[in-house]
Amino acid sequence: MRYDHNQSNRVEIQKALAELDSWAVADGKLHREYRFRNFVQAFGFMAQVALLAERAAHHPEWSNVYGRVVVDLTTHEAGGITRKDVDLAREMEEIAGRSRPVPAGG
């Protein structure tokens, strides 16, 4: 499934974002910032996600500074947000939940 900028696909993106409440659309990509207690916890999260992403052949755009991981998801070959991005975001949320990130604003 591909989400583009027509009305029905905007509705699908909004449905996905309702489940992924810490995610937003920024610059046409799914966007999220995670904050972890320290670098080791942040890097551990990234290592776990990297294994899933490699298996799915779907890699995030991301950066890490100490306990912060900034993530953007888009499917380049499709030119926008697709089901692959939503699925990876969901998996990232599961991993982050086990890693106990710092609450937003914390």
**What positions carry a catalytic annotation?**
54, 58-59, 76-77, 85
**DSSP type of residue 20:** S
Separation of alpha carbons 27 and 90, rounded Å: 20
Q: Which of 95, 89, 91, 65 is CA-nearest to residue 75?
A: 89
